[in-house]
């Protein structure tokens, strides 16, 4: 899965001020990624506020992204949830022909044991021949996928080919890299520790800040993958403050404020999420104003 080595971005879903999906803005966002060095697109992940979209809206979002991308970049589709049977049914009933892999988040809210997480993903993997990327994000799911569970899945399920690791724990990430099969992709889901993960042997990132600063962030990852450490860290420290800013009041509020500053989208989220406050918005704008000065 060489297409998944590098920088992917978890696409936002733009909304109009009237509340509906803004497909014109979505086209602008996708083109902005493609024109500025991103390696692949992740569709309908958490950053896309997918839990607030209707089935019809999800279908329309997928159609717009597929049309504007026009085969230029590989695409990954997010399909996950806390009901194993429902996730399996969605995978089996979805046309996955446009996508190179499925990104599936560990079940949230019901807090399964490690055996429950293992059995969930074993069922998900059996539902398709498509490659599966696990997604570990304990801050959202309330349970951490243990290294042993991930390694077990990596060895026992042929189409589980990697993980988006977003526990924010560099030691855990290094253990995943150490103990998983050589070809297994350990992909950062945490923008701030992406570079050290890559330098430790990780495969890249599925990023949020990369959506707002795609050229420099994807260049940073490329430098890291190539072993150009000095150049990579120069970009990391240039970018670092922006990462803190966009996550200060949650995701995707911060990245939407940045994309609004860039003139790509309206700064609109769906409840229960709300836009960032005026103070943070002004600090994001100030960062962007001085960024290339």
Every domain of the chain and the residues it spans: 2-238
The CATH class of the 2-238 domain is: alpha beta
Average pLDDT, integer, range 144-152: 98
Confidence of residue 20 (pLDDT cuts 50, 70, 90): very high
- Asked if residue 285 has pLDDT above 70, the reply is yes
The sign of the torsion formed by the CA atoms of 190, 194, 200, 203 equals: positive
Determine the Cα–Cα distance for residues 12 and 269; give it in Å rounded to an integer.
10
Helices (H), the chain: 23-34, 55-69, 84-93, 114-126, 138-141, 147-156, 170-179, 194-199, 214-225, 229-247, 253-261, 278-291
Average pLDDT, integer, range 156-167: 98
Q: Which of 134, 195, 203 is nearest to 164 (CA)?
A: 134
Q: What is the token pair recorded at 197? A: 């993960």
Q: Which of 13, 2, 35 is nearest to 218 (CA)?
A: 35
* Residues 6 or more apart whose Cβ sits within 8 Å of residue 55: none
Active-site option among 164, 223, 256, 261: 164
What is the per-residue pLDDT across 221-276, written as a single tens digit (0 to 9) for each?
999 999 999 999 999 999 999 999 999 999 999 999 999 999 999 999 999 999 99
Q: What is the token pair recorded at 10? A: 């978890």
Confirm whether 16 is a catalytic residue.
no
Q: How many CB atoms lie within 10 A of CB 267?
A: 17
> Which pairing describes strands 40-43 and 75-78: parallel, antiparallel, or unpaired?
parallel
Determine the Cα–Cα distance for residues 52 and 235; give it in Å rounded to an integer.
34
Confidence of residue 293 (pLDDT cuts 50, 70, 90): low
- Asked if residue 27 has pLDDT above 80, the reply is yes
Alpha-carbon distances, residue 6 vs 28, 39, 66, 216 (angstroms)? 22, 6, 20, 13
Task: Report helix, strand or coil for 46.
Answer: helix
Longest dimension (CA), the chain: 52
pTM, 2 dp: 0.97
Confirm whether 135 is a catalytic residue.
yes
Q: Which of 31, 59, 25, 32 is nearest to 43 (CA)?
A: 59
Active-site option among 40, 99, 118, 135: 135
Which phi and psi angles does 37 have, rounded to 5°?
95, 5
What is the per-residue pLDDT across 75-86, written as a single tens digit (0 to 9) for each?
999 999 999 999
pLDDT given at position 292: 80
Which phi and psi angles does 165 have, rounded to 5°?
-100, 110
Confidence of residue 219 (pLDDT cuts 50, 70, 90): very high
């Amino acid at each position: 899965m060489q297409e998944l080595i590098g920088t992917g971005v978890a696409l936002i879903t733009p909304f109009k001020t009237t509340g509906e999906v803004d497909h014109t803005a979505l086209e602008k966002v996708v083109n902005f990624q493609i024109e500025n060095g991103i390696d692949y697109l992740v569709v309908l992940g958490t950053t896309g506020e997918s839990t607030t979209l209707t089935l019809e809206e999800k279908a329309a979002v997928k159609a717009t992204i597929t049309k504007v991308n026009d085969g230029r970049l590989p695409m990954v589709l997010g399909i996950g949830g806390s009901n194993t049977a429902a996730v399996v049914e969605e995978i089996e009933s979805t046309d996955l022909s446009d996508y190179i892999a499925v990104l599936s988040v560990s079940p949230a809210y019901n807090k399964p044991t490690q055996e429950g997480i293992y059995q969930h993903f074993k069922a998900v993997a059996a539902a398709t021949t498509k490659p599966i990327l696990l997604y570990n994000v304990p801050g959202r799911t309330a349970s951490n996928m243990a290294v042993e569970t991930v390694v077990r899945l990596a060895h026992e399920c042929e189409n589980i080919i990697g993980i988006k690791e977003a526990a924010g724990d560099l030691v855990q990430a290094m253990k995943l890299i150490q103990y998983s099969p050589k070809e297994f992709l350990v992909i950062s889901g945490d923008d701030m520790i992406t570079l050290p993960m890559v330098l430790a042997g990780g495969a890249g990132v599925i990023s949020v800040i990369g959506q707002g600063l795609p050229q420099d962030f994807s260049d940073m990852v490329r430098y890291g993958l190539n072993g150009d450490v000095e150049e990579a860290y120069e970009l990391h420290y240039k970018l670092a403050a922006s990462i803190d800013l966009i996550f200060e009041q949650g995701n995707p509020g911060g990245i939407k404020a940045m994309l609004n500053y860039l003139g790509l989208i309206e700064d609109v989220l769906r409840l229960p999420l709300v836009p960032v406050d005026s103070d943070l918005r002004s600090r994001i704008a100030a960062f962007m104003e001085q960024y290339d000065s």
